[in-house]
Structure 1
Amino acid sequence: MTSAVRGSVRRRATGAGLAALLLAGGAVACGGKGDQSPEMTPAAAVAKAAKNTQDITSLHYRMKGQYPEQGQITAEASMRLKPTVAMSMKMNVPSQGAEGAAEIRLVDKAMYIGGNPEMAKEMDGKTWLKFDLSALGDKQLGAGAAGAGQAEQNPAAESGFLTGAKDVKKVGTETVDGVETTHYRGTVTLDELKASLKKESKDVREQREKSLQQYEKLGVDTMTMDMWVDGQDRTKQFRLKGQADKGPLDMTITFVDYNKPVAVTAPPAKDVADLAEMMKDAQG
């Protein structure tokens, strides 16, 4: 494999991997029990739903929308948060044609991207490309470095963002995937989000700070967020919109289920091309 081909594969795979990891990091998890009181204020309802996300162990969700530079994206994923982080996602970026379909797996601190016949043609028949997140540095990961660390963060960190908005309001009641929900909306700046972290516990604050970094890197200053909360104070759906340096960000995440077993396995070694080894060969 020539260095030019390696570069092409790495750029395409890194772009897909970054989008997947950021989107996974951006997923708002669901959890918790209890009946929502009719008298609860919009801010209190949002805060309760956000708090209920902190104890989940796994989730299954769908995503769709627009991501900067990538364009329209659809994906479905299962993610385990405890005892260790693992994820399996099938993603499609229509604007990239046949090259836009990929499967991403995150397991044992390694990310695998595969399922694309075009990529296999450029990797001597290998159908998966491995990113060893613990071995590759920022320079080797390129843009993917921003998402690599975020992938191991609790995705529930995102759900707390709406609690930082000062204008949270009730939009109405809607049915999402057959579930009756209450729809809330608010707008918040990154500075307001940072200020709101002061009242949080250390663990929550650290999670949200790391999550905020991805939006700073994208150049998003203000976010409009919609949250659909079910009758058990769980987040059933979440939408985040903002303007990034390289285009609009508008993603909707719908939760299918939560706290069910999620098993993710690495692809067979014979089918995997290791990016770290490819980089060593290229340098040589």
Structure 2
Amino acid sequence: MKSNRIIGSVTAAVFVAAGSAGCSATAVTQKAGESAQNLVAALSRASDEASKAGSADISMTLTTPDTGGKPMQMKGLYSWGNGLAMETEMPAKDLQMEDMVADGTITMRLVQGAYYYEVDPAPDGPFQGKTWLKVEASAVMGEKGAASMNGANADPTSGLKGLKYAKDVTKVATENVNGKSTVHYRASVPADRLGAASDMYKGLGMTGEVVTDVWVDDKGTPARMNQVIGTSTISVDFLSFGSQRSIDVPPAADTADVTERFKQQAQGGSA
């Protein structure tokens, strides 16, 4: 279980949680032939529609230095109705955990401020019989950064409401996304001007300009969101909104807390 890969999976949730909070900095610039007010209104409506849904089935791809520059893929449920929560599946090789599952797939949950990774029960050793490994999110991004993942920041599109402060907001084109006709918008902002979301990025050592692309479908909801900050990129497809599935904390009896081992690995010590 490599710490940099776990950081990568945590980073994915941070990006989605920060959502288009990257659209909250200086001043809207009007592209020729477009109304800045109309662009802001369209994206604000998209945020409102997503917020009301409370959850979404998503597919995302993340690439950061923590993933070795290789794409990390996840697919599952993202929920923000009662605080931030996720349940996704990803290839075990993306986390370098192939030896911990027989079927090659890791189920990851983010719930109540901690990450849980489902594994096959170990036959012996300190994790004997345990089927979930737990890592506190604060171990990766600090207490302040982890706290910023909840509340208003849990909604993946909450930042769209702040577009009146964004710079370089433009309507790019009409494009097809997963069989849907969408309007593609783009905005950018310095990462240190994102309010509470800044803590998430700072906790992961990310600085610079955040460029956010959002594709809005004919129902007024986001179909895709892409963010780039430095050498890190994440693309999220919103496959459907409003799932009623719950994301629960795994049973304590089945869980091994590996937060301290993770911290040792992250600091270059033994694990």
TM-score (norm 1): 0.67
Shift of 1:213: 1.6
- The alpha-carbon distance between structure 1 residues 178 and 14, as it changes in their structure 2 partners (threshold 3 A), is closer
Note if 1:271 corresponds to 2:254. Answer: yes
After TM superposition, the structure 1 = structure 2 runs for residues 111-130 of structure 1, keeping only pairs within 5 Å, are 111-115=115-119, 123-130=127-134
Query: 1:52-131, aligned counterparts within 5 Å?
Result: 52-70=49-67, 71=69, 72-92=71-91, 96-99=95-98, 102-115=106-119, 123-131=127-135
Distance 2:211 2:148 in 1: 21
Which ranges of structure 2 fall in alignment gaps of 5 or more residues?
A: 22-33, 99-103, 263-271
Identity across the alignment (%): 25
Map of 2:42 onto structure 1: 45
* Residue matched to 1:215: 201
Q: Distance in 1 between matches of 2:173 and 2:250?
A: 45
CA distance in 2 between counterparts of 1:187 and 1:84 reads 26
Match of 1:260 among 233, 236, 243: 243
1:51-80 Cα deviation digits (max 9, x unpaired): 433333211111113123223211112123
Separation in 1, partners of 2:72, 2:125? 24
Question: How far does the alpha carbon of each residue in 1:222-266 deviate from its partner, in whole angstroms, 9 at most, with x for none?
Answer: 1122110111221111111121xxxx1111111011112021233
C-alpha change, 1:262 and 1:60, in structure 2 (3 Å) is same
**RMSD after superposition:** 3.7
8 A contact 1:18–1:144 mirrored in 2: no
Matches within 5 A, 1:157-172: 157-160=158-161, 164-172=165-173
Between the two proteins, the alignment pairs up a number of residues equal to: 237
**Hey, what does 1:148 align to over in structure 2?**
146
TM-score w.r.t. structure 2 length? 0.70
Residue 177 of structure 1 and its aligned partner are, at CA, apart by 1.0
Q: Give the equivalent residue in structure 1 for 2:267.
A: none
Point out where structure 1 has 5 or more consecutive residues left out of the alignment.
1-8, 30-37, 195-208, 280-284
Specify the code of the residue in structure 2 equivalent to 1:165.
A
Q: 1:16 to 1:228 in 2, by over 3 A?
A: closer
Question: In 2, distance between residues paired with 1:58 and 1:264?
Answer: 11
Tell me the alpha carbon deviations over residues 59-108 of structure 1, each in whole angstroms, 9 at most, x when there is no partner. 11111131232232111121232245432122347565445953221335
- What is the DSSP-based 3-state SS (H/G/I as helix, E as strand, rest coil) of the residue aligned with 2:167? coil
Residue 17 (structure 2) aligns with: 25
Whether contact under 8 Å (1:158, 1:211) holds in the other structure is no
